Structure 1
Amino acid sequence: MAKGYKQMLAEADALVVSVTAEEMAGKLEDDSIVLVDIRDPRELEREGMIPGARHAPRGMLEFWIDPESPYHKPWFAEDKIYVFYCASGWRSLLATRVAQEMGLDAQNLRGGFSGWKKDGHPTAVKEKRRT
């Protein structure tokens, strides 16, 4: 039988380091950490994002990380800690596992952007794309 999402999340949670919003809030100015928002662009435009975070849509993540890909983003090749987040922390938990498998020093923001906002941490406005 195929794995369900709950099993996949449990397996990923056992393998990745997750940090809390409180822990991450104290490290926003740390140049050794790159926050990576993997949500859909419409989510960022609607909800905002963590100040200073980079955006890497979940559907492109593997291609952006892999230096052999024509879509590779050089900022993923830096010797940094990458902290991934989504809305609730589920997508980013799975993304963090993939990023680790691809060789990144990756962590997950437990509770995601929703938890970040709920705890009263700062947010930034994402400008809407022009069509």
Structure 2
Amino acid sequence: MAEKTIKTVDSMVAEANEQVRIVSVEDAKTMVGNDDVTFIDVRDVREIAKSGRIPGARHVPRGMLEFWIDPASPYYKDFFGEDKTFVFYCAASWRSALSAKTAQDMGLTPVAHLEGGLGEWLKADGPVETKEA
């Protein structure tokens, strides 16, 4: 029997990074509070509870992303229909790279993801809020 060839996470993240705009932490800081930008936090609720989130960010569980973006889905979220730039982020920018690529592949535009994720955001003293998701 032939050995399975599995596409690696590293290769998928690298492909996403080639196809999706990456926003630096410094640039993202200037976007917080802008009416034309929505930050999308794809982390688990426990991560958000532990470390907070970028002010005003929408929590979109990674497992629900496609369902919340698709207007034909019963789970569709209206905010994905707004004329805004969607900046995805996670803890270290792997999940957000994959999420932003998925969103872009589904036709959501413009999308980007945060370089280095919330980890780099916190190192750069980016603002966080700790209210419930």
Q: 1:107 is matched by which residue type in structure 2?
A: A
Correspondence for 1:70: 74
Q: Does 1:93 align with 2:85?
A: no
> 1:8-27 counterparts in 2 under 5 A?
8-27=12-31
Aligned residues: 128
Correspondence for 2:44: 40
SS of 1:26's equivalent?
Answer: helix
Q: Which runs of 4+ in 1 moved over 2 A?
A: none
Q: CA separation in 1, counterparts of 2:33 and 2:75?
A: 28
Equivalent residue for 1:113, pick from 107, 111, 118: 118
Q: Does 1:6 align with 2:10?
A: yes
Instruction: Tell me by how many angstroms 1:81 deviates.
Output: 0.7
Percent sequence identity over aligned pairs:
48
Correspondence for 2:62: 58
Instruction: Tell me by how many angstroms 1:121 deviates.
Output: 1.0
CA displacement 1:57-84 (0-9 Å, x = unmatched): 0000000000000000000011111000
SS of 1:18's equivalent?
Answer: strand
Correspondence for 1:84: 88
* TM-score calculated relative to the size of structure 1: 0.94
CA displacement 1:34-56 (0-9 Å, x = unmatched): 00000011110111000111110
Q: 1:48 is matched by which residue type in structure 2?
A: G
Could you list the runs of 5+ residues in structure 2 that have no partner in the other structure? Answer: none
Q: 1:23 is matched by which residue type in structure 2?
A: D
Q: 2:120 is matched by which residue type in structure 1?
A: G
Q: CA separation in 2, counterparts of 1:121 and 1:95?
A: 22
Equivalent residue for 1:122, pick from 114, 118, 127: 127
